[in-house]
Amino acid sequence: MIDDHSLRGLIQLTMPDARVEVQDRTGTMDHFNVRVASEAFAGKTLIEQHRMVYAALGPALRDGRIHAVELKTELLERPA
């Protein structure tokens, strides 16, 4: 199990500017809907963006704290 704050922290370690929204899908703290917006996604394909997030979540996926993630990513656009 992992809480929302810790999951957010894993992503923000590799993408400090990321805006991360987390929803626990089942109430068991191991199945999540995650939405990530980051400038780090600039010029990346959707698959590359997802790989970046999954790499950040790697430790928690490998040790079983996270069982499933439904992921949405988007480019974070800063106001000019």
22: domain CATH number is 3.30.300.90
> Is 80 contained in some domain?
no
- CA angle (18 as vertex; 10, 73 as ends), nearest 5: 95
80: pLDDT confidence band, cut at 50, 70 and 90? low
Nearest in space to 11 (alpha carbons), one of 32, 80, 64, 44: 32
User: Distances in Å between the alpha carbon of 61 and those of 2, 39, 43?
Assistant: 10, 24, 26
Q: How many domains does one find in the chain?
A: 1
Query: pLDDT tens digits, residue range 21-30?
Result: 999 999 999 9
In the Cβ-directed half-sphere of 31, how many Cα atoms lie within 13 Å? 4
Q: Which two tokens stand for residue 69?
A: 């993630």
79: pLDDT confidence band, cut at 50, 70 and 90? confident
| Owning domain of residue 16 | 4-75
Q: Are 68 and 10 in contact (CB under 8 A)?
A: no
